[in-house]
């Protein structure tokens, strides 16, 4: 599943953006260094292939629902981790821009979830280790399924963590996890089977294609370190962001922890930062005084809690909102008219 | 001017799996000549072409372009001299716009920006596609793609043009346009094709390949006049040389002359009466 | 099948829109990319229950759409296709967040509904500006802008190649699945084995094509280094005005909830 901009907070989105940008930079330099120039058009064409392949749906046996190829693991098998990572990242970027699938800020999350996990963990640490040097059908099937499974489980765990830490969605961690992981278990098995089917098809038709990918430098050992470092650093950063959220804002983890533990009210927080934030929120919220629980409001809060006042401010929000909306519309109509009349003048 | 000659001597190419694709092929093409290489599917035409700019390297034998014998160290120079136009223009046009594509070769040659600019303009005008300059390749028609593909090669100012199936997949109008364009070139031209009518118009000389061997090499008209030879090489006289079946009914058995109903069918019909 | 053909057409149309010549199209791509990013960051940084404060941000997509001469209906349809993905998650909010936040007589409105609406609003704003960015800039120019802003060249080249061959390969994919459908005689669904070999064939063709492209590149002197001429673009006065103006606008409306203030003015509840 793609993370969407609408569900991501700037801290989470920004952190993962930075992490994925670092990974892209590192992978680019790796691809550049042991440049096999044949790979330049190959990566592009295979990226387009994933795009094209995703347009074709197949029926998942025994369920009646349909699925399509994810392609992360397949690309890693065909291209090796670094080139595959860049290829997946490029596919995700086109999806974000052309289909607004995911979104620009959430792009970092998606690149990590759908690119880094299959390319840097599922393929080198699982698939390659399990398949070993010899390519035999049954081992390939097993390795493919397990690798795809792990890759997708990690990816969906990423989605859950990023969503919960962002705190835009109210889904509690446990519930969301229980929702996502089993679905991705099924998707993982299917992805693994499809990947192996395609790989063994290629193996029969043109074995040298797979050999060339295998002859790439072994990627299981040394060069993985910087990447793991990036992963760990970004995890720490997220953790940092997480605690920042927990201490300064009711949004985010604290809030979802409160949900999980079943208490409807948030624990009191008396940080200075929180008060400032609350003050800003008072100024900016549609419904000031309601976006924060009563306990956290303090003395200088100008809004009384009387019932009429509530309706008054809510009304203010709605009236003001309507005026703003009509204003947007008017600007649009005005500009369109002007452009139209200019065009008429130009054509005269 | 021996400068732009192409000489292929005892060229032999064996695929990694042991299949012999070319059996000691030899020929010599002079400056300004326009030569067709024809043959059935799998005769070795494409393999031969891929040797001419060093993409494949011969198992044995040699290729001399101009005065240089093709070898690993002079590939750059050879590729500048021999301009290759591939069969599917989608393979050749890989850049975001027509301009970028035509500039690709000159930029790789290390030319200055101004020089690149003028080469692109010149090449586009040469193929009559100046209006397509800033378009992305996927918005072009088949004929436009083909002409732009030729321009991508012309911008490197090659002395020899090699074209693989240039008229493949074009509509009659675009095909006619392309033939006229190619006729106007003064380069040495080597063309492979199944479009023998185009060959008849474009090339004064034809080489027939069959199963990796040169079966014939001579003036196009002579070769296409030899029906026996064409038949053994799984080819057919170009339509332009066949005589029109409608205007000259004697020349061919026409379908209308056959009885429409099989004889025994008639008999059955009779029995019922 | 229609869906496949349709999404391909969609893709081509967005690309065609980018070839228009309006004041917005002519701006340096970097200005548009940066403005879009700042817009998105501002929007997603709003609090969970925020709706009205986001409304002024609609002005940006509306202005770009009209000045950039983009068909509103087309973009709206594209946005509507994507929004359900965010809503699938957002719809859980009313289930888990039942804190009463507003009361109109007997009607109680839970925080979950407000935050769900807020997610919808975010989705509309962020997806529309992403689509508009491509529609007024074009993909290659966007890549070029990102490259100038520090994206590695290898990745930029990858994006360009990918983009170029999407058009070729999706066409092939459409042809392949059309050919299959014409021989299935109404039996719906594609078995996983068939799918494997179908995709395998597509992959083989892709591989062969990549080799031919490589050949074509080599024969034009490619030696591993990618030279591109950048379109002439400069960061001039117009770009500074465009970026500066919009960023000031975003920051202003991020800090002050204008609709709220406006509403108070009209309803006389100004404190």
Nearest to A288 by CA among C40, C114, C123, C91: C114
pLDDT in tens, C76-110: 888 887 787 777 788 888 888 777 777 777 777 78
Is the pLDDT score of B35 beyond 80?
A: yes
Q: Does the beta-carbon distance from C216 to B86 stay under 8 Å?
A: yes
Is C222 part of the contact surface with chain B (CB cutoff 8 Å)? yes
Give the total number of structural domains in chain C.
Answer: 1
| Rounded-to-integer distance, Cα A175 and Cα A260, Å | 9
> In this structure, are residues C261 and A320 in contact, taking their beta carbons and an 8 Å threshold?
yes
Residue C11's pLDDT is what? 75
Task: Judge residue B30's burial from the number of C-beta atoms within 10 Å of its C-beta, 0-12 exposed, 13-18 middle, 19 or more buried.
Answer: middle
Instruction: Taking residues C252-266, report their average pLDDT.
Output: 85
pLDDT in tens, A75-123: 999 898 999 999 999 999 988 888 777 788 999 999 999 999 999 999 9
pLDDT in tens, B111-153: 888 999 999 999 999 999 999 998 888 889 999 999 999 999 9
In a domain, A281, yes or no: no
| Rounded-to-integer distance, Cα B99 and Cα B121, Å | 9
- Residue A126 and residue A37 share a domain: yes
Beta-strand pair B20-29/B68-69: unpaired
For residue A231, CA distances in Å to A169, A219, C87, C180 come to 25, 16, 29, 43
In a domain, B58, yes or no: yes
Instruction: Taking residues B66-72, report their average pLDDT.
Output: 87
Give B128's strand partners.
none
> In this structure, are residues B130 and B102 in contact, taking their beta carbons and an 8 Å threshold?
no
From chain C, pick out residues whose CB is under 8 angstroms from the CB of B104.
217, 220, 222, 227
Give B22's strand partners.
B13
Q: Does the beta-carbon distance from A6 to C123 stay under 8 Å?
A: yes
Among A18, A25, A45, A288, most C C-beta atoms within 10 A, so best to mutate, is A45
Among A317, A327, A337, most C C-beta atoms within 10 A, so best to mutate, is A317
In a domain, B264, yes or no: no
Residue C35 CA to its chain's centroid (Å)? 14
CA distance A238 to chain C (A): 16
Q: Is B10 helix (H, G, I), strand (E, B) or coil?
A: strand
- Residue A222 and residue A320 share a domain: no
pLDDT band at C60 (very low <50, low <70, confident <90, very high): very high
- Residue A220 and residue A71 share a domain: yes
Which tokens in the block code for residue A65?
Answer: 């629902």
CA distance A305 to chain C (A): 12
Beta-strand pair B68-69/B60-65: antiparallel
pLDDT band at B213 (very low <50, low <70, confident <90, very high): very high
Is the pLDDT score of B97 beyond 50?
A: yes
Q: Does the beta-carbon distance from C192 to A193 stay under 8 Å?
A: yes
CA distance C60 to chain B (A): 29
> In this structure, are residues B13 and B182 in contact, taking their beta carbons and an 8 Å threshold?
no
Is C255 part of the contact surface with chain B (CB cutoff 8 Å)? no
From chain B, pick out residues whose CB is under 8 angstroms from the CB of C139.
96
Residue C233's pLDDT is what? 65
Q: Does the beta-carbon distance from C139 to A97 stay under 8 Å?
A: yes
Residue B154's pLDDT is what? 93
Q: Does the beta-carbon distance from A52 to C267 stay under 8 Å?
A: no
In a domain, A136, yes or no: yes
- Residue A241 and residue A98 share a domain: yes
Give B35's strand partners.
B190, B205
A196 membership: H or E segment, kind and range: helix A173-205
Highest mean pLDDT among A33-37, A67-71, B171-175: B171-175
In a domain, A81, yes or no: yes
Q: Does the beta-carbon distance from C213 to B84 stay under 8 Å?
A: no
Interface partners of chain A (CB pairs < 8 Å, 3 or more) are: C
What are phi and psi for residue B187, nearest 5 degrees? -70, 165
- Residue A312 and residue A193 share a domain: no
> In this structure, are residues B120 and B102 in contact, taking their beta carbons and an 8 Å threshold?
yes
Minimum mean pLDDT among A159-163, B261-265, C148-152, C239-243: which range? B261-265
In a domain, A97, yes or no: yes
Q: Does the beta-carbon distance from A285 to C118 stay under 8 Å?
A: no
Is C215 part of the contact surface with chain B (CB cutoff 8 Å)? yes
- Residue A221 and residue A82 share a domain: yes
Which are the contacts of A237, defined by CB distance < 8 A and separation ≥ 6?
A15, A18, A19
- Which range of residues forms the domain containing residue C170? 2-267
Please name the residue that has the structure tokens 């390319």.
A119
Give the total number of structural domains in chain A.
Answer: 2
Minimum mean pLDDT among A162-171, B170-179, B198-207, C171-180: which range? C171-180
Q: What is the mean pLDDT of chain A?
A: 72
> Mapped to the 3 state alphabet, what secondary structure does C114-144 carry?
HHHHHHHHHHHHHHHHHHHHHHHHCHHHHHH
> In this structure, are residues B117 and C185 in contact, taking their beta carbons and an 8 Å threshold?
no
Give B29's strand partners.
B6
| H helices present in A111-166, as ranges | 128-131, 137-166
Minimum mean pLDDT among A65-69, A260-264, B166-170, B179-183: which range? A260-264
Minimum mean pLDDT among A43-47, B177-181, C81-85: which range? C81-85
From chain A, pick out residues whose CB is under 8 angstroms from the CB of C68.
none
* Residue A223 CB neighbour total at 10 angstroms: 16
In a domain, A129, yes or no: yes
From chain B, pick out residues whose CB is under 8 angstroms from the CB of C225.
108
CA angle (C219, B61, B109) in 5-degree steps: 20
More confident call, C183 vs B192: B192
CATH code of the domain in which B53 resides: 3.40.50.300
- Residue A189 and residue A312 share a domain: no
In a domain, B46, yes or no: yes
* Residue A262 CB neighbour total at 10 angstroms: 7
User: What is the C-alpha radius of gyration for chain A, rounded to an integer number of angstroms?
Assistant: 25
| Rounded-to-integer distance, Cα A321 and Cα C50, Å | 11
| Rounded-to-integer distance, Cα C253 and Cα C242, Å | 17
In a domain, A166, yes or no: yes
From chain B, pick out residues whose CB is under 8 angstroms from the CB of C157.
none
From chain C, pick out residues whose CB is under 8 angstroms from the CB of A193.
192
Q: What sign has the CA pseudo-torsion A97, A101, A106, A112? A: negative
Q: Does the beta-carbon distance from A49 to C206 stay under 8 Å?
A: yes
Residue A347's pLDDT is what? 64
Residue B156's pLDDT is what? 92
Q: Is B163 helix (H, G, I), strand (E, B) or coil?
A: strand
Residue C3's pLDDT is what? 55
In a domain, A137, yes or no: yes
More confident call, A172 vs B199: B199
pLDDT in tens, A211-224: 655 544 433 334 45
Q: Does the beta-carbon distance from C215 to B104 stay under 8 Å?
A: no
Q: What is the DSSP string of chain C?
A: -HHHHHHHHHHHHHHHHTT---HHHHS-HHHHHHHHHHHHHHHHTS-TT--GGGGGGGHHHHHHHHHTT--HHHHHHHHHHHHHHHHHHHTTHHHH---EEEEETTEEEEHHHHHHHHHHHHHHHHHHHHHHHHHHH-HHHHHHHHHHTT--HHHHHHHHHHHHHHHHHHHHHHHHHHHHHTTTTT-----HHHHHHHHHHHHHHHHHHHHHHHHHHHTTT--SPPP-PPPP----HHHHHHHHHHHHHHHHHHHS-HHHHHHHHHHT---
pLDDT band at B236 (very low <50, low <70, confident <90, very high): confident
> In this structure, are residues B152 and B101 in contact, taking their beta carbons and an 8 Å threshold?
yes
pLDDT in tens, A220-259: 334 455 656 665 665 555 555 444 443 333 333 333 334 4
* Residue C9 CB neighbour total at 10 angstroms: 10
pLDDT band at A298 (very low <50, low <70, confident <90, very high): very low
In a domain, B265, yes or no: no
Residue A304's pLDDT is what? 45
In a domain, B243, yes or no: no
Is the pLDDT score of A337 beyond 80?
A: no
Give the total number of structural domains in chain B.
Answer: 1
User: How much is the pTM?
Assistant: 0.78
From chain B, pick out residues whose CB is under 8 angstroms from the CB of C222.
104, 108
The single-letter DSSP state of residue A125 is I
Which tokens in the block code for residue A265?
Answer: 């009210």
Residue A269's pLDDT is what? 38
Q: Does the beta-carbon distance from B88 to C212 stay under 8 Å?
A: yes
**Residue at a domain's end among A229, A248, A267:** A248
In a domain, B83, yes or no: yes
Instruction: Taking residues C170-188, report their average pLDDT.
Output: 77
- Out of B50, B91, B108, whose CB is closest to C227? B108
In a domain, A98, yes or no: yes
- Which range of residues forms the domain containing residue A187? 5-248
DSSP-based helix, strand, coil % in chain A, nearest 5: 75, 0, 25
Nearest to A62 by CA among C192, C204, B120: C192
Nearest to A157 by CA among A96, A123, A114: A114
Which tokens in the block code for residue A177?
Answer: 């996890």
Q: Does the beta-carbon distance from C224 to A175 stay under 8 Å?
A: no
Task: Judge residue A124's burial from the number of C-beta atoms within 10 Å of its C-beta, 0-12 exposed, 13-18 middle, 19 or more buried.
Answer: buried
Q: What is the mean pLDDT of chain B?
A: 85
**Residue at a domain's end among A248, A270, A293:** A248
Residue A256's pLDDT is what? 39
Is the pLDDT score of A169 beyond 70?
A: yes
- Which range of residues forms the domain containing residue B217? 6-238
Residue C78's pLDDT is what? 84
pLDDT band at C35 (very low <50, low <70, confident <90, very high): very high
| Rounded-to-integer distance, Cα A35 and Cα B42, Å | 33
Q: Does the beta-carbon distance from C220 to B156 stay under 8 Å?
A: yes
- Out of B80, B99, B137, whose CB is closest to C221? B80
**Residue at a domain's end among A248, A280, A314:** A248
| Rounded-to-integer distance, Cα C109 and Cα C103, Å | 6
| Rounded-to-integer distance, Cα C63 and Cα C58, Å | 9
Q: Does the beta-carbon distance from B50 to C212 stay under 8 Å?
A: no
In a domain, B263, yes or no: no
Beta-strand pair B82-85/B6-14: unpaired
CATH code of the domain in which A212 resides: 1.10.1760.20
CA distance A150 to chain C (A): 21
């Amino acid at each position: 599943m793609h993370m969407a901009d609408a569900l991501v907070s700037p801290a989470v989105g920004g952190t993962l953006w930075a992490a994925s940008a670092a990974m892209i930079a590192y992978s680019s330099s790796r691809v550049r260094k042991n440049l096999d120039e044949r790979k330049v058009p190959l990566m592009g064409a295979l990226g387009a292939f994933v795009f094209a392949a995703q347009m074709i749906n197949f029926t998942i046996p025994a369920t009646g629902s349909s699925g399509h190829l994810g392609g992360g693991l397949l690309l890693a098998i065909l291209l090796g981790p670094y080139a595959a990572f860049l290829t997946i990242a490029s596919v995700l970027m086109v999806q974000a821009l052309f289909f607004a699938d995911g979104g620009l800020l959430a792009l970092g999350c998606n690149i990590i979830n759908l690119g880094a996990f299959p390319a840097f963990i599922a393929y080198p640490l699982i698939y390659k280790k399990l398949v070993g040097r010899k390519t035999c059908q049954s081992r390939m099937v097993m390795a493919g399924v397990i690798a795809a499974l792990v890759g997708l489980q990690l990816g969906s765990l990423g989605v859950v963590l990023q969503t919960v830490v962002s705190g835009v969605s109210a889904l509690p961690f446990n519930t969301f996890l229980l929702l996502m992981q089993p679905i991705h278990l099924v998707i993982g098995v299917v992805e693994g089977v499809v990947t192996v089917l395609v790989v063994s098809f290629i193996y029969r038709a043109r074995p040298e294609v797979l050999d060339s990918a295998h002859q790439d430098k072994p990627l299981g050992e040394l060069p993985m370190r910087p990447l793991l470092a990036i992963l760990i650093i970004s995890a720490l950063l997220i953790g940092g962001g997480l605690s920042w959220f927990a201490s300064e804002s009711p949004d985010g983890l604290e809030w979802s922890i409160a949900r999980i533990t079943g208490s409807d009210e948030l624990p009191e927080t008396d940080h200075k930062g929180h008060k400032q934030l609350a003050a800003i929120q008072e100024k900016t919220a549609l419904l000031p005084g309601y976006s924060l629980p009563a306990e956290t409001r303090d003395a200088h809060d100008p809004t009384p809690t009387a019932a009429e006042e509530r309706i008054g401010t809510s009304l203010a929000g709605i009236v003001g909102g309507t005026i703003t909306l009509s204003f947007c519309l008017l600007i649009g109509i005005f500009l369109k008219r002007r452009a139209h009349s200019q065009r008429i003048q130009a054509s005269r | 001017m021996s400068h732009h000659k192409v000489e292929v001597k005892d060229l032999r190419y064996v695929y990694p799996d042991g299949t012999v694709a070319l059996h000691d092929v030899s020929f010599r093409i002079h400056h300004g000549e326009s030569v067709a290489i024809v043959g059935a599917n799998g005769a070795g035409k494409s393999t031969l072409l891929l040797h001419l700019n060093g993409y494949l390297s011969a198992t044995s034998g040699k290729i001399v372009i101009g005065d240089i014998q093709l070898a690993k160290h002079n590939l750059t120079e050879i590729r500048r001299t021999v301009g290759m136009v591939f069969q599917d223009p989608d393979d050749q046009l890989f850049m975001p716009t027509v301009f970028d594509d035509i500039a690709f070769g000159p930029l790789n040659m290390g030319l200055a920006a101004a020089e690149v600019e003028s080469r692109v303009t010149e090449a586009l005008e040469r193929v009559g596609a100046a209006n397509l300059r800033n378009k992305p390749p996927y918005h072009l028609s088949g004929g436009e793609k083909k002409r732009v593909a030729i321009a991508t090669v012309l911008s490197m100012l090659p002395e020899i043009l090699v074209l693989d199936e240039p008229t493949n997949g074009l509509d009659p109008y675009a095909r006619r346009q392309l033939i006229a364009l190619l006729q106007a070139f003064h380069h040495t031209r080597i063309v492979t094709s199944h479009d023998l009518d185009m060959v008849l118009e474009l090339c004064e000389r034809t080489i027939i390949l069959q199963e990796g061997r040169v079966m014939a090499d001579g003036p196009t008209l002579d070769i296409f006049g030899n029906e026996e030879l064409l038949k053994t090489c799984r080819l057919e006289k170009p339509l332009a040389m066949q005589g029109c079946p409608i205007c000259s009914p004697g020349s061919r058995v026409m379908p209308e002359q056959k009885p429409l109903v099989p004889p025994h069918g008639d008999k059955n019909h009779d029995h019922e009466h | 099948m229609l869906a496949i053909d349709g999404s391909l057409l969609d893709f081509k149309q967005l690309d065609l829109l980018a070839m228009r010549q309006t004041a917005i199209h002519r701006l340096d791509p970097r200005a548009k990319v940066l403005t879009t990013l700042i817009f998105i960051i501002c929007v997603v940084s709003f609090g969970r229950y925020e709706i009205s404060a986001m409304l002024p941000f609609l002005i940006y997509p509306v202005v770009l759409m009209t000045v950039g001469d983009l068909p509103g209906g087309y973009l709206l349809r594209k946005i509507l296709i994507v929004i359900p993905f965010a809503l699938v998650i957002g719809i859980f909010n009313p289930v888990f967040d039942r804190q009463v936040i507003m009361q109109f007589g007997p009607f109680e409105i839970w925080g979950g509904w407000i935050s769900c609406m807020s997610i919808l609003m975010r989705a509309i704003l962020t997806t529309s500006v992403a689509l508009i960015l491509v529609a007024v800039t074009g993909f290659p120019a966007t890549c070029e802008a990102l490259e100038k802003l520090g994206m590695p060249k290898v990745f930029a080249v990858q994006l360009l190649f990918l983009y170029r061959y999407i058009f070729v390969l999706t066409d092939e994919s459409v042809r392949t699945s059309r050919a299959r459908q014409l021989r299935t005689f109404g039996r719906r669904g594609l078995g996983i084995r068939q799918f494997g070999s179908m995709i395998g064939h597509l992959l083989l063709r892709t591989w062969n094509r990549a080799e031919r492209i490589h050949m074509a590149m080599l024969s034009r002197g490619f030696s591993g280094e990618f030279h591109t001429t950048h379109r002439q673009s400069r960061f001039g006065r117009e770009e500074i005005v465009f970026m500066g103006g919009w960023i000031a606008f975003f920051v202003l409306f991020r800090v002050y909830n204008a609709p709220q203030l406006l509403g108070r003015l009209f309803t006389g509840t100004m404190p």
